[in-house]
Amino acid sequence: MATELEAIRQKLLAHKQELLARAAKVRADITRSSGPLDKDFAEQVVQMENDAVLAGIGEATAAELAQINRALLQLDQGTYGICSQCGQPIGDRRLEVLPYSDRCIACAGAAR
């Protein structure tokens, strides 16, 4: 069990690095494209749309990072793999697909 949790921790940390790299790239892209807008109106619209898309990716990445950080904290506290809503074990299969999930499949399904 302990080695299993260690494997999950490594997986989470690797994914976190990946997300941080992606977030840094998104930020760099936003900075680059948020220069003075083009005089041509059609070009301005395209530029603003690009910014919105990039910001959207940043938001999703930030949310995922928060989930990973929470999962890492739970690993430290020994509460990893427990559903935050019903307190039941989340299940190995679900954790394998979504290692930072904090709800069991029943609660995640009910929330939708």
Q: By the criterion CB under 5 A, which residues form the site for Zn ion?
A: 83, 85-86, 104, 107
Residues 6+ apart with CB under 8 A from 85: 103, 104, 107
- Which CB, 8 or 90, lies closer to Zn ion? 90
- Which CB, 47 or 84, lies closer to Zn ion? 84
In whole angstroms, give the CA distance from residue 105 to residue 38.
48
Q: How far is the CB of 3 from Zn ion (least distance, A)?
A: 26
Q: How far is the CB of 57 from Zn ion (least distance, A)?
A: 29
Q: How far is the CB of 87 from Zn ion (least distance, A)?
A: 7
The identity of residue 54, as a single letter, is: L
